[in-house]
Chain A
Amino acid sequence: MVSSSSDDVVIKVEDLVKSFGDLNAVDGVSFEVHKGEIFGILGPNGAGKTTTLECIEGLSEPTSGRTFVLGMETQIEPENVKQRIGVQLQASAYFDYLTLEEILNLFARFYKRRASTSELLERVGLLDKAKSRVKTLSGGQQQRFTIAATLINEPEVIILDEPTTGLDPQARRSLWDFIQSINADGRTVVLTTHYMEEAEFLCHRIAIMDNGKIVAMDSPENLVRALPVPFEVKIITGSEYNLDALSNLTGVQDVVDDGEGTVRMRSSDAAATVSGIMAWSGQSGAPVKHLEVTPSNLEDVFLSLTGRGLQE
């Protein structure tokens, strides 16, 4: 279970700033990750997600601010931090000419605590590939291997940078299950993503990042609930009817009409809006051929916070 008492803080980031020349890639970021959480950093490319992780991992030196892992400050004792975390880097590869088994055995030697190579491979369903090379694996298998490799030192925390980027939906789904099973072992997981479904499905808490800053941080449910317009109501009617009345219905914030009879309304009160539509239909004689109510999602949260879409 996720608790939030201050003595179970696994990762702590304080006023982190990382500049490259004039650009502040990370611009005053602070957050805490608690034991047993899956914590997601959601944001578009270039938001500063990877740089934030690299400072925590000891791969990048902060311009100012501090990061702590398991009570150890990364910048002061990087070796000790590295001993106890598992790291997956975005788009990083492994040695071409070693087998999966040889790679894991080699990496195991870098650490004090070592997991069993064959158990790790078995866990990701790659035991029969133990003597194969990485390039013979499919994209999904490669990514599972990469994440299995982060577990080689039995880490308390694993940090994954865009673990599912580039995978097909099925492979992504299977990787989500794997990440949840790692979390079920009691390991804290920090991941970055620009897929809002991924953040919604996997993460207990999310920090939304944009232009080097955290613009919101909470559970996915709370973030959506806090939106001023948490629903979208869509109807299909005839294009010949006067739609002006729709924007005056209870709860409706704005109306988008595609000119061919499909109308989308963002609403703060779905129930009131729907009964308003029914009343409008009865009075004007306009048919309602289709009615759909969708709760808003993290995409809408991002849109309302930044005025832009996540994938832009």
Chain B
Amino acid sequence: MLIFHLTIANLKMISRNRQSLFWALAFPLIFVVVFGTFFGESDTATTIAVIDNAQDDVSRQLISNLRELEDLNVEERENERLARKEFNDGDLNYLLIIPEGLQATVQNDPPARVTVVYDDTNPIGEIVVGLVDRFIDQANLEMSNAPIRLALTIEGVSIREVDYLDFVLPGLAVWGVMSFSVIGLAATISSYREKKILTRILATPLSVSIFFASQVLAYLVLALIQATIILSVGVLAFGASVEGNLLVIALLLLMGNLVFLNLGFIVGAYAKTVQAASGLGNAVVLPLMFFSGVFFPTDNLPLVLQTLVEFLPLAPMLETFRGVILESKSLTDFPAQLSVLAGWLVGTAIVAVKTFRFR
């Protein structure tokens, strides 16, 4: 199949272009790593070391209850001084120190005080401490013989709420795909025109529609690979959550990317040189990126802008994408967003065909 071979050739060319590969993958990944490091979860973050100075029934009960908490990894340490040193060196993020004679204090001279040590510059520290705090409340209630009026289920306490990384990761994936499809394709088209490669192709019997279809196919394949890598790094390295049906996610990504590719063809039609294509491409991509909710929810924008971006392609695409990824919603939950996207798909395709120039 000719189109298959052409698509493979396109993929080869794109993947051999180090510079374009940087913009396609390395650049979005830098953001994933930065946001992941600041906002993501990691194993050490949810490990709590317990120093049991009491070694009595109450303390043992407390520790075994603590172990039942999901998302919290409990380790015991013998020596408080060494444990504090580990904490100061950054090897431990949370310490729980149980005082000597806990059982006696609980029974004879309440309240007993347990100490949590954590780094208050750690953004998720509060969440973990909150978890421990609620756990202690629960233990308190259980130990008093008073009827439990306020039942708190430990399972209900979750630190896996949607954090910033979860929010920004789908945005980064879509932004990466969009900027690469718009700028990369526009640069390719204008360089092919500048170097007369388009005319050379026209001089062969190859049908131009197959030639352009192979470009689109290559960028669609690439978008899937790109998004998979970006999302995987977020999930595997930084514990971001990606829920939702993967097929739906892929389908939505491809639909959005068709709009971006049409924009790429249009930019490529107007840009006479590769530099112009990348400048013009950025002029399209950057405002979309800033105002469509890649990094911040659009709710924070002035109302006029907020309304405006709803009619541009990126914001509806992102809302749907996040809905599917974070809330496992289905495409039918987003009729308005998908209508806007479909309108852009048709509109940009018409403009792309009308404006295209071979020379």
A94 near B197: Cβ-Cβ < 8 Å: yes
Task: Among B2, B191, B197, point to the contact of A109 (Cβ < 8 A).
Answer: B2
Residues of B within 8 Å of A94, CB to CB, are 197, 200
> At the interface, yes or no: B151 with Cβ under 8 Å from chain A?
no
| Complex: A57 Cα to B12 Cα, angstroms | 30
B5 near A106: Cβ-Cβ < 8 Å: yes
Whole-angstrom distance from the CB of A204 to the nearest CB of chain B? 24
B13 near A96: Cβ-Cβ < 8 Å: yes
| Complex: A15 Cα to B2 Cα, angstroms | 38
A-binding segment of B23-31, B202-210, B275-283, B321-329: B202-210
A92 near B205: Cβ-Cβ < 8 Å: no
> At the interface, yes or no: B221 with Cβ under 8 Å from chain A?
no
> At the interface, yes or no: B9 with Cβ under 8 Å from chain A?
yes
A98 near B195: Cβ-Cβ < 8 Å: no
Residues of A within 8 Å of B203, CB to CB, are 57-59, 82, 87, 89
Residues of A within 8 Å of B205, CB to CB, are 79, 82-83, 110-111
Give the bracket for the number of chain B residues in contact with chain A.
20 to 34
B195 near A97: Cβ-Cβ < 8 Å: no
Encode A236-276 as 1/0 by CB contact (under 8 A) with B.
Answer: 00000000000000000000000000000000000000000
Given A92-B196, A92-B199, A109-B2, answer yes or no on A97-B204 (Cβ-Cβ < 8 Å): no
B2 near A89: Cβ-Cβ < 8 Å: no
Whole-angstrom distance from the CB of B125 to the nearest CB of chain A? 48
B204 near A82: Cβ-Cβ < 8 Å: yes
B199 near A59: Cβ-Cβ < 8 Å: yes
Given A82-B204, A111-B204, answer yes or no on A106-B6 (Cβ-Cβ < 8 Å): yes
Whole-angstrom distance from the CB of B13 to the nearest CB of chain A? 4
Residues of A within 8 Å of B206, CB to CB, are 110
Encode A61-100 as 1/0 by CB contact (under 8 A) with B.
Answer: 0000000000000000001001100010101111111100
Whole-angstrom distance from the CB of A55 to the nearest CB of chain B? 12
Those of A92-142 within 8 Å (CB) of chain B: 92-98, 102, 106-107, 109-111
Whole-angstrom distance from the CB of B194 to the nearest CB of chain A? 9
Residues of B within 8 Å of A89, CB to CB, are 196, 199-200, 203
Given A79-B205, A110-B205, A110-B206, answer yes or no on A97-B12 (Cβ-Cβ < 8 Å): yes
> At the interface, yes or no: B81 with Cβ under 8 Å from chain A?
no
Q: Is the interface of B mostly helix, strand, loop or mixed?
A: helix
| Complex: A303 Cα to B14 Cα, angstroms | 51
A97 near B200: Cβ-Cβ < 8 Å: no
A97 near B16: Cβ-Cβ < 8 Å: yes
> At the interface, yes or no: B17 with Cβ under 8 Å from chain A?
yes
| Complex: A109 Cα to B6 Cα, angstroms | 9
B196 near A97: Cβ-Cβ < 8 Å: no
Whole-angstrom distance from the CB of A96 to the nearest CB of chain B? 7
By beta carbon, the residue of chain B nearest A57 is: B203
| Complex: A118 Cα to B341 Cα, angstroms | 48
B195 near A92: Cβ-Cβ < 8 Å: yes
Whole-angstrom distance from the CB of B278 to the nearest CB of chain A? 16
| Complex: A91 Cα to B206 Cα, angstroms | 21
Given A97-B13, A97-B16, answer yes or no on A110-B204 (Cβ-Cβ < 8 Å): yes
Given A96-B13, A109-B2, answer yes or no on A59-B197 (Cβ-Cβ < 8 Å): no
| Complex: A95 Cα to B17 Cα, angstroms | 11
| Complex: A87 Cα to B204 Cα, angstroms | 8
Those of A35-62 within 8 Å (CB) of chain B: 57-59
By beta carbon, the residue of chain A nearest B16 is: A97
Residues of B within 8 Å of A57, CB to CB, are 203
| Complex: A106 Cα to B12 Cα, angstroms | 12
By beta carbon, the residue of chain A nearest B198 is: A92
Those of B170-200 within 8 Å (CB) of chain A: 191, 195-197, 199-200
| Complex: A110 Cα to B9 Cα, angstroms | 13
| Complex: A190 Cα to B348 Cα, angstroms | 42
Task: Among A79, A82, A93, A109, point to the contact of B195 (Cβ < 8 A).
Answer: A93
Candidate in A57, A94, A96, A110 with the most chain B CB atoms within 10 angstroms: A110
| Complex: A106 Cα to B9 Cα, angstroms | 8
| Complex: A98 Cα to B199 Cα, angstroms | 18
Task: Among B5, B9, B13, B197, point to the contact of A92 (Cβ < 8 A).
Answer: B197
By beta carbon, the residue of chain B nearest A92 is: B196
B200 near A98: Cβ-Cβ < 8 Å: no
| Complex: A109 Cα to B191 Cα, angstroms | 23
Candidate in B2, B14, B195 with the most chain A CB atoms within 10 angstroms: B195
Whole-angstrom distance from the CB of B204 to the nearest CB of chain A? 4
| Complex: A87 Cα to B195 Cα, angstroms | 15
By beta carbon, the residue of chain A nearest B196 is: A92
Residues of B within 8 Å of A82, CB to CB, are 203-205
Whole-angstrom distance from the CB of A160 to the nearest CB of chain B? 12
Residues of B within 8 Å of A91, CB to CB, are 196
Residues of B within 8 Å of A79, CB to CB, are 205
By beta carbon, the residue of chain B nearest A112 is: B205
Residues of A within 8 Å of B12, CB to CB, are 97-98, 102
Encode A170-190 as 1/0 by CB contact (under 8 A) with B.
Answer: 000000000000000000000
Whole-angstrom distance from the CB of B5 to the nearest CB of chain A? 6
B200 near A102: Cβ-Cβ < 8 Å: no
| Complex: A173 Cα to B114 Cα, angstroms | 93
Whole-angstrom distance from the CB of B214 to the nearest CB of chain A? 10
Residues of B within 8 Å of A96, CB to CB, are 13, 17, 191
Residues of A within 8 Å of B6, CB to CB, are 106, 109
Whole-angstrom distance from the CB of B108 to the nearest CB of chain A? 80
19 A-B Cβ contacts within 8 A? A58-B203, A59-B202, A59-B203, A79-B205, A83-B205, A87-B203, A92-B196, A92-B199, A93-B195, A95-B9, A96-B17, A97-B12, A97-B16, A98-B9, A109-B5, A110-B2, A110-B205, A110-B206, A111-B205
- What is the interface of chain B, defined by CB distance below 8 A to chain A? 2, 5-6, 9, 12-14, 16-17, 191, 195-197, 199-200, 202-206
New contact pairs (11) apart from A92-B195, A96-B13, A109-B5, CB-CB < 8 Å:
A58-B203, A91-B196, A92-B196, A93-B197, A94-B200, A97-B17, A98-B12, A106-B5, A106-B9, A109-B2, A110-B2
Would you list the 5 A-B pairs with minimal beta carbon distance, nearest first? A92-B196, A93-B195, A97-B13, A87-B203, A97-B16
